[in-house]
Amino acid sequence: MTSHVTLYGDLPLYINGGPHASTTEQWIEVTNPADQSLLARAPKATAEEVELAVRTAHDAYLLWREVPAPERARVMFNYQHLLKVHHDELATLLAQETGKNFADAKGDVWRGIEVVEQACGIASQTMGETMGNVARRVDGHSWVQPLGVCVGITPFNFPAMIPLWMFPLAVACGNGFVLKPSEQDPLTPMRLAELFTEAGAPAGILSVIHGGAEQVDAILIHPDVKAVSFVGSARVGAHVYRTATENLKRAQCFVGAKNHMVIMPDANKGQVLSNLVGAGVGAAGQRCMAISVAVFVGSARDWIPELAEAFAAVRPGVWDDPQAAYGPLISPEARVRVENLIEAGKQEGAECLLDGTLCEVAGYPVGNWVGPTLFRGVTAQMGLYRQEIFGPVLCCMEVDSLDEALALINSNPYGNGTSIFTSCGAAARTFRHEVAVGQVGINVPIPVPLPFFSFTGWRGSFYGDLHAYGKQAVRFYTETKTVTERWFDEDIPTGPNMTISLR
């Protein structure tokens, strides 16, 4: 099916249930990372347009909050159906603007659909609690109610999944929502908004604005905005969290990561090697849950040469190349940054077993290509280890015991995800119990939870209290009203002509 989003044109904003032409004089070019060709231009929304987006979301919320939860759920059922019908269309659009290969792009869309399916059960997830006779002839009960206007600020690397983490659950809870997607790939989020309206969402309940720091700041200080969800870099996330909370708003900010996989000597070697390749270079390493550090314990270090061979066997390519393991980095600036970190690693003394900085893809000479890169002999003092690379680069470290591996992971400032590969149940239990990381995989390389759980990064990977999707997101997007109630028996009407008027 053909997308309503126009390639090679100027994108509108999405306000009040449809496209809204911007009057701005400032535009952002959206380019194909495989060849730098222009896909579209996105407007930097004016202050008046930001105000309009928030106001229409707030006005829509005032009506939407009165819609019964089962009716809101029906919109979500319609939406998940439309997303499935348009799955391949969305993936094609997403692949062109991100560079992801088609399989990866389809996975991006599908993981978002799973969260929408979770939103279909919103009625049971927003039930309150009751107790009769909390005191003599006094009853207590709590209601779960929406907040108002919520905001999502989303990154380039998952332009379908991460917006779908946010606005379906927030809207299902009864809120209005303003989405500010990444300016690097706004086409997919715009199409998501179109389908949301087609599913029956009321006009104005979801607004989409484009822009950068100026537009984000305008949203963060707006008095009608009650909660802010963010996924992105640690630097920007810290700013968003401080600004939002200083303006007395709820905030959840998912930021940097440095994810370790621990390989025990008793692990299945074949599984370790294949999973490390996928977890290390999949999506060109542009995932907050990518494995960027492999910690080999004891004799497992002998597998590193075979890992280098496995890395050398994969290659990047364009989105519709079925043989390509992954695509380009999102921008020339991202490629230069990753190449500089690779060069710095060499200068610091790490052994570069496989260097992807001279990678070329036939027919695409100006693409943002970085080949699979593998280092050995990396230490915790190197910049290669301390910084989040966000590229297809894996650092190998070697320790003598599980205790050393745990100490290494727990001393890292980030705590997003980690995993261990082992055939020993005791080792696995010790690891999951003692590791100070929010998401743990046992013989699973990238332990992203399904949406009936929550995405639970810890420490320097998350600013806030309540996490994304699942039960915690429902709590984040709602507030609880507690009622204590007493009625007096002498007030009961009596007599043959008793009438009780109900409204």
* Token pair 């496995």 in the structure block, residue: 310
Q: Report yes or no: 441 and 415 within 8 Å, Cβ to Cβ.
A: no
156 in helix, strand or coil? coil
* Token pair 């009960």 in the structure block, residue: 141
- Strand pairing of 458-459 and 414-415? antiparallel
Sort residue 397 into left (φ over 0), alpha (ψ -120 to 50) or beta: beta
Query: Residue 296: which of 266, 274, 321, 251 has the closest Cα?
Result: 266
CA atoms of 378 and 412, how far apart (whole Å): 14
Q: Report yes or no: 457 and 123 within 8 Å, Cβ to Cβ.
A: no
Q: Report yes or no: 279 and 285 within 8 Å, Cβ to Cβ.
A: no
Could you tell me the CA-to-CA distances from 421 to 30, 128, 272, 380, 427 in Å, in that order?
40, 41, 7, 21, 10
Q: Report yes or no: 152 and 229 within 8 Å, Cβ to Cβ.
A: yes
Selecting among 288, 352, 359, 395, the annotated active-site residue is: 288
Sort residue 54 into left (φ over 0), alpha (ψ -120 to 50) or beta: alpha
Query: Residue 389: which of 441, 336, 468 has the closest Cα?
Result: 336
Reduced 3-state DSSP string for 434-480: HCCCCEEEECCCCCCCCCCCCECCEECCEECCCCECHHHHHHHCEEE
Examine the residue annotation and report whether 288 is marked as an active-site residue of this protein. yes
Sign of CA dihedral 401, 259, 422, 311: negative
Q: Report yes or no: 376 and 304 within 8 Å, Cβ to Cβ.
A: yes
CA atoms of 185 and 91, how far apart (whole Å): 13
Could you tell me the CA-to-CA distances from 376 to 49, 314, 380 in Å, in that order?
51, 19, 12
Tokens of 307: 């890992």
Residues designated catalytic: 288
